[in-house]
Chains A and B, each alone.
Chain A
């Protein structure tokens, strides 16, 4: 019989251990001078790169870790001294400094890139990879994935416009395979791809289920804090047996918690949605601004787009691995983009099943992809639903634009408003 103390909190414990093992492997790769592929969370192509045994480096995660570990300012300063503006993405600048310091990172040494694979899900990915191209003269592969053309205008398999996009993605994947073969000297093995896709299917299914289980009362995890741990595993271990097992275990844990009414550490009074990117320079404290009032985040758009859109739940057809991979990449990266540009409809539909009391918008200076439309999104959501919302700006990397006192004042006022709403509703 499952014991509560064994299962509750297992996702966080195992996630932290896996995360550490990932960086240990990267450190070993750096020390041995082995090959590594630099990829991004939206469209990492991890499933394919596993086939070539290429260790995966995610510079976005490297960068955010410098903020969580409170050393980001050192990296940002160095990149700004090099010439980069204070007004560009902090992730990029932290990575520039990391490269200038030969991979030195608080979690170990990061290997140099042998290959960079990026999608257009974020335009900064493209500019970022151009920096590596100049620094290292390595192959840069831009996998161009067309997104949704207009609100509600997604097309699906069989539609001529979808097929035009799908063919484009499939051809590019085949071109990427050739690049990987040339780089590694290994022949593409479709059975190994099939295995990686199978593991990814388990993860996608698990991710979707975990998010769904947070409809429970009390909520079974905090989307801002716990969710970020799950996200790290989802990205770093996509397409691996370890990643698949982790998500099977995580589903088991969350189902157990839901069945036994076990919530997060917060005494849950208010259920919130988080829209934007976390405030990593004061990550723990930022969450406390809400948890101190009994607020917990039951879902977040970050868990959609920063997971590469796999919350959409697409599962690969293993009988036609390559074609299905192209189709899946197109669908879930598009979903990631929709989670940033068109999220108001999804948010509106979540309010009732997740019993949401309020929505917290957190646009940041560093990321225009996520932040540009948030104010307008908020207006649109307010027009659709009578729901309280909070709009606070800071950054994911740069503590110079994080004002904790101001954030706290705004959060306090938000909760006072929530309390008044609740009283009025009685």
Chain B
């Protein structure tokens, strides 16, 4: 087996291993990108939320999740207008500053702003940039056939980058790797739900986020090792409120914000980096791999404010998520200037009001550094629940 590009966690205690994971996650130089490239590896960057990484993986390339960073958009700021979310700007900054060199960039029509990215990036970098048109009418029976065609188009684009055809066998192998990865992440979320005192919200978040930074085989090995040890932790339960965090599907809240929440709450479920956990079940290995991936995207998937599906009214899905996680309250956040997130806040809070479920509403930005005021408000909210 080749040397891993992220090895610092190996042969370390659980706490030290998680520390190394956090160090990697917070490193805005994205060192694993350079390590991959140093081996001659190529990279396809894919913007939030969901992307069929298996197709890129099957070509032997690294799928890199473009999710912005807490950095200053020195060059990128002048490419955009005033009233936009931060993730657009910092993501482009990573490209313009050559911090994350790519061979190809793919965005999706998840929102009005993000759908501009293929054009904006395409005018500013020399590698191919495109939109993957994931279906916005999943209620049409034809959408699986359409999406299979769209995945095939993407596959041909990736083949041009890799210089070699992607075989069905390679796709099935990649699907198997990702199936294992999804199963491990489901296991992590079961721990969060059933024994949340064993893993804090920020620890779990970092462990998931690394999936977008390193090869999935490595991520599988990391999770296999750490989950075993997390389960064996001797921690005891504390007086904390069980909450669901909603609003982390695209731009990511700062890790310190998640840590602040974790100080008073057990985050028993969330939509943080939901794209990495979009598929809820294993993708079948028999049959046509692209059809299986398309079918899974449409029929065996989670929900988010940026996918329209008449079968998944978001507020009802949130209530179901809360019931399933046995949550007492909800934290409903939105990234500043995130139109889908801000619009969904209204539906969420009205549904929670009707159901009589307490909730905390707020906004965040990936680069914010002060959480004192929010943490005080949150503590008050939690105390009201604990002592009511």
Contact = CB atoms under 8 A, between A and B. Distances in A.
Contact of B115 (A153, A341, A344, A376): A341
A21 interface: no
A188 interface: no
B146 interface: yes
Given A372-B88, A373-B116, A127 B140 contact: no
Number of contact residues on A: which range applies?
35 or more
Interface residues of B, number: 60
A168 B146 contact: yes
Contacts of B301: none
Given A130-B308, A147-B131, A167-B146, A375 B80 contact: yes
A149 B143 contact: no
A85 B342 CA distance: 6
A365 B81 CA distance: 9
Contacts of B129: 150-151
A161 B112 contact: no
A376 B80 contact: yes
A149 B112 contact: no
A117 to B, nearest CB: 11
A146 interface: yes
Interface in B119-170: 119-120, 122-124, 128-133, 135-137, 139-143, 145-146, 149-150, 153
Contacts of B80: 372-373, 375-376
Interface string A337-363: 000111010000000000000000001
Contact of A367 (B88, B112, B133, B305): B112
A92 B342 CA distance: 12
B133 A146 contact: yes
B346 A87 contact: no
Contacts of A341: 115-116, 118-119
Interface string B305-349: 110101001110000000000000000001011011011111101
B308 A142 contact: yes
A368 B150 contact: no
A140 interface: yes
A192 interface: no
A5 to B, nearest CB: 44
A47 B375 CA distance: 55
Given A88-B339, A164-B150, A150 B118 contact: yes
B387 interface: no
A83 interface: yes
Contact of B112 (A142, A369, A379, A393): A369
A291 B185 CA distance: 61
Interface in A157-187: 160-161, 164-165, 167-168, 171-172, 175
Contacts of B83: 87, 365, 368, 371, 393
Contacts of A172: 137, 140, 142
B124 A368 contact: no
B128 to A, nearest CB: 7
A361 B83 CA distance: 15
21 contacts: A87-B83, A88-B339, A89-B339, A127-B305, A127-B339, A127-B340, A127-B343, A130-B314, A140-B310, A144-B143, A147-B109, A149-B118, A149-B132, A150-B122, A168-B146, A368-B83, A371-B83, A372-B80, A372-B81, A374-B81, A375-B81
Given A88-B339, A372-B80, A377-B123, 18 more contacts: A84-B343, A85-B342, A92-B343, A120-B109, A123-B112, A127-B305, A127-B344, A130-B347, A142-B308, A144-B137, A144-B146, A147-B115, A149-B118, A150-B122, A150-B130, A161-B153, A172-B140, A375-B80
Interface of A: 82-85, 87-89, 92, 120, 122-124, 126-127, 130-131, 133-134, 140, 142-144, 146-151, 153, 160-161, 164-165, 167-168, 171-172, 175, 340-342, 344, 363, 365, 367-369, 371-377, 379-380, 393
